[in-house]
Amino acid sequence: MRSVLPILTVLGAIVVLWYGATVWLNAQWTYDQAARAGVEVSLPEVVTDTLSQERPVLPAPHQVAGGLWDGLLGQKVTSKRSLVYHGWVTLSATLLGFAIGTGAGILLAVGIVHNRAMDMSVMPWAIASQTIPILAIAPMVIVVLASLGITGLLPKAMISAYLSFFPVVVGMVKGLRSPDHMQLDQMRTYNATRGQMFWKLRLPASMPYLFASLKVSVAASLVGAIVGELPAGASSGLGARLLSGSYYGQTIQIWSALFTAAILAALLVMIIGVLERRTLKRMGMVR
Amino acid sequence: MSWLWGAVIFWLAAWAFNVWLAKQPVARTRMVRLFIPGLFGVTLLILWEGIVRGLQVPGVILPAPSAIWATIWASLAILREDFVQTILKGALSGYVIGCGAAVLMAIAIDRSPFLQRGLLPVGNFVAALPVVGIAPILVMWFGFDWQSKAAVVVVMVFFPVLVNTVAGLAASDRMQRDQMATWSAGYGQTLLKLRLPAAMPFIFNGLKIATTLALIGAIVAEFFGSPTRGMGFRISTAVGQLSLDLVWAEIAVAALAGSAFYGLVAGIEKAVTFWHPSQRGRR
């Protein structure tokens, strides 16, 4: 709790800097307008004007908050202007992709741990693939799947799944290998089969690693879903909101979509954090 | 169909060979350790080629590796132009500015525990956010050319490097710092001779994460507007023209550049942190 004050100070400083930047960046437009109208503007007028422009270069925090409030609560949930609606579209793709990617990742990790040939041939590629900018293929996946007749949720979910896949593989392989020699020998003295060794030792021991990589991969799959909405054609979702906002210069729309995405990411990571704490506590592994 | 069956049989044979090889005692040597994943990669390519030819998959859905290879050779000039625009101008300059700023900032806030306690949770939080989302805003501010891409990259790499560097600066233990104090070393000397070297493994951890983020940021930012060159621009327009072989060629270049970039940073890490246990173990 002693870090609450510093955090609030930092957040306060960010808001102050933000207001300063708003005035600085938007002042040009105000001066231009005033020059066109042939009037002189005083400094207080400039400040009030910069904080309430229709299409500012940088919207002020209260404008973004207003946009968020309007988008989240001011509209009917089914409306095209509602951020809840767009957030839900993105969230459903994220969750589907996250489930697919995590499931496949865990399965591959189990295979890698139990099969030496698989370990030696697949693992280097799994690690190398982390250095590749995978997001670059997002537009292609969408278009190719659309030409095969697959549209809607699934293509976006595939990108999410792909992004969340590798962190889980790498984390789970580490986790399933985390039991040390002593513990493995103990299982052998109990005459445990490979299956028992997996269910009773390796899988429980891997839980902290699993949760750590789940946090990374849920954030990655949200990014995947948003980027998956960027290519032409998507009309709903936070990514589409970002894109249409950038086409029409609606900066407030961009910023409120961005903050919705941030809130969503924070919520997802937080939910996994709560699950992690509960699970590890019940398993007696809280450090 | 013979292409398909040939590829499948080749894949099975190569897999069986890998399984056999992994059980041999020679599997511990370095050569074989490189050979097995190499063979696996080659079999995947051959399987891909076989499926595309055997099932006659149209090139607008999935081009064969041989077709991609031909495209790479045919459009070297385009690929090079895009590489310079996106990787060298956008990603690399943003990477250097972002990482440099993050390390300096970490050293600055290191002196104040108050700022550390405040900034670290915020930094950790921001590092988990979908930061690519600010790409449209930065493209609006900095124009379509590479400057806006570099700005996106700066924002993307800043927080992971900051968080890791702050953690690294705290890594030297009390005994070592007391030792520096008994030698009456000043703040600067302690920083240069003890704490920065001790922080290097952490800093490089952040730098390695940042390499991938830099490429992603530079490419995705181009989806929001760019001059008529650059990898992201080329990918999105080539997808529109259904010339998927060019898209795959760009992806191959991006993958190669990403691995090379990562390898470069990892190589520098090896040279700088030769003393660290994780590096000493691997000879």
pLDDT in tens, B85-115: 888 888 899 999 999 999 998 888 888 878 8
CB of A65 within 8 A of CB of A76? Answer: no
pLDDT band for B7, please (50, 70, 90 cuts): confident
- Say how far apart CA B87 and CA B146 lie, in whole Å: 10
| Chain B CB contacts of A134 below 8 Å | 216
CB atoms B118 and A6 under 8 Å: yes
Across the A:B interface, residue pairs with CB atoms under 8 Å apart total 170
Mean pLDDT calculated for residue range B61-81:
87
DSSP-derived letter for residue A136 is G
**How wide is the angle at C-alpha B125 spanned by C-alphas B172 and A225, nearest 5°?**
130
Considering the domain delimited by A83-282, tell me its CATH architecture: Orthogonal Bundle (1.10)
Domain ranges of chain B: 2-57, 72-280
Q: What is the mean pLDDT of chain B?
A: 84
Closest to B121 (Cβ–Cβ): which among A3, A119, A223?
A3
Closest CA to A176 of A239, A223, A110, A105: A110
Residue B15: the pLDDT is 81
Any idea which residue has 């007391």 for tokens? B178
Residue of A nearest to B116 (CA): A6
Looking at residue B281, its pLDDT comes to 57
Q: Identify the CATH number of the domain defined by range B72-280.
A: 1.10.3720.10
pLDDT of residue B156: 87
The predicted pLDDT at position A287 comes to 56
Minimum-distance CB partner of A223 among B41, B122, B132:
B132
Contacts of B225 in chain A (CB under 8 A): 246
Domain boundaries, chain A: 4-58, 83-282
* Ranges under pLDDT 70 in chain A: 1-2, 77, 131, 231-234, 286-287
Is the model's pLDDT at B282 over the cut of 60?
Answer: no
Q: From residue B201, how far is each of B94, B102, B171, B180 by CA, in Å?
A: 22, 16, 10, 20
Question: What pLDDT was estimated at residue A220?
Answer: 85
Q: How far does the CA of residue A109 sit from the closest CA of chain B (Å)?
A: 16
pLDDT at A69: 84
Q: How far is B258 from chain A (nearest CA, A)?
A: 5
**If you measure CA to CA, which chain B residue comes closest to A4?**
B118
Residues of B in contact with A143 (CB under 8 A): 239-240, 242
Q: Per the CB < 8 Å rule, is B18 touching A245?
A: no
pTM equals 0.80
The whole-number pLDDT of residue A233 equals 58
Chain A residue closest in CA terms to B220: A136
How close does chain B come to A245, measured CA to CA in Å? 8
What integer is the mean pLDDT of B182-206?
A: 88
Share of chain B above pLDDT 70, in %: 97
